[in-house]
Structure formats: C-alpha cells, structure tokens
Amino acid sequence: MAVKYGGWAGQVLRVDLSTGAITKENTIERYMDMLGGTGIGYKVLWEETDAEVKAFDPANKIIFGVGPLAGTGAPCNGRTAVTTIFPVCWPKALTATGHMGGTFAAKLKYAGFDAVIIEGRADKPVWLHICDGQAQLRDARHIWGQGIPRTDQEISREIGPDCSVAAIGQAGENCVPMSVIINARSHSAGGVGAVMGSKNLKAIAVQGSRPVYIAGDKGKWEELINLHLRLLGANNQHVVPSFPSPKSEYYHPGSRWNGAPGKRWGAADPPVQLTDDIYSLNRIAFRTNSAAFFLGDSAWKYTVRGSGCHSCPIRCHTIIKDPGMAAKYGIREIAQNTCSGMNFGRTFFPSLLHDRGDAAREACIMGMYLADDLGIWCNYGQLQRDFIRLYKEGIFKAKLGAEEYASIPWKKCDEGDPTLLMDILPRIAEKRGEFGTVLGLGTGYMLEQWGLDEKLWGADPATAYWKMGHPKHHASEDDGQCGVIINTQYNRDAQCHSHCNFVRNGLPIHEQKRLAEGIWGSPDAVDAVGDYTPVNIHKMKRAKWAILRKELHDSLSLCNWMGPWAASPLKERGYAGDDTLESQLYSLATGHHVSRDECDFIAERIFTLHRALTIRGMNELNMRERHDLCPDWIYTDKNGRPAFSRGTIRMDRADIRSGLDMFYELMGWDKATGAPRRDTYVRLGLGKTAAELDARNLVPKT
C-alpha cells in the first residue's frame, strides 16, 4: 500500500508548449528524494536535458518548484524556485535558479501541484492557467507587450482575484537575459524571465482551494509554529533592535529591526503608530521597515505598511506612497519592494548612492515602477555598478555610436534626475540600440561583446564583480573565508544568506562565538567582521552548513533571506535559535521523520546534483581551477593593509586555497579538482549520476 504523506500536493504538472500536451506526474514516486523546489529543478534538468542545451532552446526547461512546506502555516514558506539553464551565466549558460517570494508558491499548492515543468516553445503567445488540479493553455496575444502589473490585472479579471500570477514584462518577451518573472507586484525571480519569453509563455496563473495536509500531530505542529514565530527576529533574522530598548539587552544600529516604538507608518490611512511591545508575536510586522533602512528616517512619512510573502510575518516589501512624486512624473503613487529592488533606481546615480533625502526616494520609486513593470533584472545591483563604471570610464562613449551616445541624457545621470530611468530602462527592455542590447545581456556577455577584460572588471572592489557574469553576494566583506568559499560555488551570484544572517544578526561577538561553538564545534567558526583570522575547519563546516541550509530552504520553500534560525531574540534561550527547526517542520508536515543530520543529508544530495550539472555543463572536471574562482579584488586593500589585520576584508590566496581544501574534504570532493568523488555520489544515492559522468571522464579517478 502506498504511503500517504502530508506536505506535498502529490502531483507535478508538465506542460509541453510545442505540442500543447499537459500531463501529471506523481511527486512522491519521482521527486521525494529531492524534496521539491530546486531539488526537483535540478533532477529534471539532469535527467531531461543535455550539456549542449542553450538557455533559449526549446529543449531547455524551466521548472517552477515549491516544497512540502509551501502553503502550510510554517512561517516564511513563500519561496518558489525557478530553475533553468540560466541565460546570464557566462561564458556558457549553466544550471541556476531564480527565487521569488510572494503568493505563487502557496497558490500552486492550493491548485494541487508541487511543481510545474515547462518545456518546448509555443507557436504563439500563451499563458498557463492552473486551477484545482487542472491546467489549460490560453491565448496571451492580448497581453503580450504589456507590463507585468497590467498582465496580472488582466488575468485576474479573467479568472478572478484569488489567483497568483507569475508574469514577464517586455524584457522577458524580448528575450533580454537580464529579465525577471514577478508575482504579487514585486516578488521577482531574477535572470529567468527571458527563458519564459523564449517559450512564448507570458504568465502562469495559479488558483485553487485544495488543502495542504499536515501529517503529524496537530498540537505539536501548532507548538512548533509558535516556537518558530518566537525565534523570528526582523528581516534577515536580525535578532536585536537597531535602537536601545528596555526590553532588549543588545541593540545594533545596523539591524533591520528598525521599528522603534513611536515611529509611524505616516502614509497609512489612518497613520499607524508603532507600539512598544516589540516582542509581541502579533506585532512582528512592526519590526522591519525596508524603506527606512535603505532611505533613512524620512521614509517613515511615506510608509503605508509592510507587504510580503504568504505566511511570513516579517513583511519586508515595504509599501511606500508618494502622491507628490506621482504627480510630478506621471507614475503610480504606490511602490513596494525590498533590498536590491528597493535600491534599483537610485543606484544608477553616483550622487544618490549615499543620499537619504527626497532625490534618492524619488529615484527608488521610479526604479521600482519601471523595473517591475518592464521586468528588468539588476543582477543584484551589477547592472547599475556596470552602468556607472562604463559611464565614468568613458566606455559608453567609446563603444556606442556618436548618434546613440548623444541620444542618451547623461546630464540627468550627473544631476540625479530620475527621469533618466524613463529613457534608459525601456532601451534595455526593448533591446534598443547598442546600449539597450548590450546592457541587457548581463555583465559577462557585455564584457565579451565590447572586448573588455573580465579580470580587470573583477579587480575593482567598487564594481563588486565576482565571476561568470555575476557579482559577489555576501562574500569576504561580510564573512571572510566563509563568504568567499560560498561565492565560489554557484553559476550565478550565490544568493546564500545562511552565513550572513548569522554574522549580521546584531549580537556582540562573544555571544556569536558562544552560539558558534554550539553549532559548529568552536567559537573560531566565526570572526568579528573585518577582524579575520586564518581559515580553520570550523569556518568551513559553517560554509558547508550555510550552503546545505540554503539548498534545503530552496527545496522546502522556506526563505533563506530569513533562515536558518541559528540565533534568536530570546535572552532566556541564550539567544539560541533552533538548528533542528527545518527538520522538525519537514517531519511534522510530511510524516517522513528525519533528524537534522538526515535533513542536511538530503540537502547535500541536492547540492551535489547541482555540482554534477555544473561539471557536465562545463564538460570540465577541474572545478577548482575553472569554476571555483575568486576575483582579484578580494586580495587587495586600498590602504595596503595585509590580510588578517584588523580593518580589512583582504584575503590571502594561500589561505583561500587551504579553505577550499578543507571545504572539498568536508563535502567528500576530490581536493585536486573539487569534483565529487565516486563514493560521495554513491553515498548520497547519486550512483547513476556518477556513472553518467564517469562515461564522460568527469569523475575523479582517485
């Protein structure tokens, strides 16, 4: 008799756009060993594509995967992993994932599915309607050419407002690699919009009313949810407030827990004053104001409230309202986003990078309005950093024709005039001219197109370029060798927050070291920022832990921008979180009981399959020399300070090599090449993967 599990919806939807065939597969039978999310995505790409498939080939697949916790009551379960052969990855498109929060993940579960596999290419624009176990392709010609909000609105009108629509804008339609998929207004999956566009798929709309069953004891489930809520801090799991509070022993001005009592959501109707019960589980949403974090205290006046993902109390997508700005520029008065999305507009302007006044706010609102309408991706701010460098160094002038160069209002860039964005962003979305076409390719292909040296691009810390067309994502500037090693592992920016959520949590270093000893075996697993010591095995254990938890989150639909919950705001727990939280949630939801280590073992399988995909995609065994690379800027210091001196993020080459040795050893990978050993594949249940790679001489011989 088949075992019944909770958590999963039980079916994966497959849509062949070339033939119109729509089929269903059993999730448990085919994908349970990979949980969901990225796990399903990697498995589909491994089994169903080959190394020669290019991003925009009909043979490429794009997998919208969610996990067994999506749609449950577990906090922070709103993530959808969109896995595909990633068009911005340079010099060759390889497997990578864009992640989006919002409502799509939960709604997909309520519609009856754990994942949607899209393959082929439609012969005309279509959108996919998924509802209560059924799916249908529908004509999208009337919305093709429209921006994302209007697409969402039109589809919602057709099928009802209880849906979640994941759509592309004009950038995705035009196969601009630097494009996104967005649902719920502002929740975007970066770098994958053009793959949808290449398939003539404008949107996927999901709705349904099917339940997500919890297999375990309901009382225990509720207890666990309450514990999880108590362990939450603010955005990025910052566990202390940014302000001194009678209720908190610690505070940290760099914390995103900036909702101090007395602050007001000034643009709410009526305005809302934040209360002083900062630990109340019913006031968690008061803690985070992303607009105020990035734009300063003046943003409170324009704040309506926080918005966010399904079942997440953090609400990090702060909604701001500025009627004056709307009237001045003729745009929508409401905008919402967080992090890079919030900063999208201002970071095109050198004069606004550090500004916290009206001009920066206006540029941010303009950026959100345009980017989330056209569906343009910033590549974690690399688009803007490239833009500024190309402009400052006269490269635009040299590479664009005189007429095209003269047609761009550069003065507006110098003056911080946000209407510059009204000019340059449509050029990118429409692939207009050399400027629009090349900037839309992504950094690696841009450098190649214009004959610029990638090594030189990676020598400048301000450009923050890392490798393969992508920037650093919480590397040595946040977490020394741990951050560096994590940034070597992916085919896009690492998108890993497990490590930086811990080191940025706001606790003093002695508390962090005490917690580190409990989880990674030594207080030396963590350094104070900018006071880095030589690498040690405990740091590399933490690096491995960070990556595995990221993959675990991405496969369960938990948010790695919030988790793992290694620390908490709770003094009575010694500020400890609960490192077994994910395994407990998974076990109770599904009824498949696993320990923390067993859960991490599954995550290791998932990440190792990602490694195998990279090795196959590159047709390269020597990951160490060809893939796990660092830019030169991490080995420099503008003041000439040596590595391991206080006040520098400079790394040491031999030390990083040593760190890779340790990391490979912990992963069961060959030290010489950084490729998983055969016994590692076998241990993880990936023996067939090893055999396929072996046939291509892509498994280490030792």
Partner 1 sequence: MNTTRMQTSTPALRIRQACEEGRLLAKKELLQALGECPAAPDASAPSLEQFEEEIRTALAENPDLSIVYGPDGEEFYRCVSLMSATYAEILAGKNMPCLLMAETVRKNSKEYPRPIALDIFEYPPFDLIPESIEACLRHMAATADFDDINFVESSTGTVYLYSTKYLDHDYAAFLAERLDVVLALNP
Binding site for partner 1 (CB under 8 A): 243-254, 276, 293-294, 338-340, 342-343, 347, 353-354, 381, 474, 477-478, 504, 508-510, 528-531, 639, 641, 645-648
CB-wise, 110 or 293, nearer to partner 1?
293
Helix axes 596-618, 537-556, angle to 10 degrees: 90
Rounded Cα distance, 291 and 114, in Å: 33
| H or E element in which residue 167 lies | strand 164-167
Residue 662 CA neighbour count, 13 Å, CB half: 21
Rounded Cα distance, 674 and 664, in Å: 6
Closest contact distance (angstroms) between CB of 273 and partner 1 is 15
The values of phi and psi at residue 569, to 5°, are -80, 0
Closest contact distance (angstroms) between CB of 530 and partner 1 is 5
Q: Please give the torsion angle defined by the CA atoms of residues 440, 446, 449 and 455, in that order, rounded to the nearest 10 degrees.
A: -170
Closest contact distance (angstroms) between CB of 337 and partner 1 is 11
Closest contact distance (angstroms) between CB of 244 and partner 1 is 6
Closest contact distance (angstroms) between CB of 305 and partner 1 is 20
Closest contact distance (angstroms) between CB of 253 and partner 1 is 6
CB-wise, 389 or 641, nearer to partner 1?
641
Closest contact distance (angstroms) between CB of 630 and partner 1 is 17
Rounded Cα distance, 291 and 1, in Å: 53
Rounded Cα distance, 481 and 661, in Å: 12
* Tokens of residue 429, six digits: 């979305």
Buried b (16+ CB within 10 A) or exposed e, 396-406: beebbeeebbe
CB-wise, 337 or 481, nearer to partner 1?
337
C-alpha 110 chain-centroid distance: 23
Rounded Cα distance, 353 and 372, in Å: 20
CB-wise, 504 or 610, nearer to partner 1?
504
* Tokens of residue 352, six digits: 């606004």
Rounded Cα distance, 559 and 311, in Å: 11
Closest contact distance (angstroms) between CB of 365 and partner 1 is 17
SS3 state at 81: strand
CB-wise, 24 or 641, nearer to partner 1?
641
Contacts of 487 (CB under 8 A, 6+ apart): 466, 472, 473, 474, 475, 493, 494, 630
CB-wise, 571 or 696, nearer to partner 1?
571
- Give the closest residue to 303 by CA, choosing from 314, 290, 313: 290
CA angle (631 as vertex; 625, 637 as ends), nearest 5: 135
CB-wise, 339 or 686, nearer to partner 1?
339
* Tokens of residue 651, six digits: 């790394």
334-337: strand order across its sheet: 303-307, 317-321, 334-337
Closest contact distance (angstroms) between CB of 648 and partner 1 is 7
Closest contact distance (angstroms) between CB of 250 and partner 1 is 7
CB-wise, 245 or 580, nearer to partner 1?
245
CB-wise, 199 or 472, nearer to partner 1?
472
CB-wise, 89 or 475, nearer to partner 1?
475
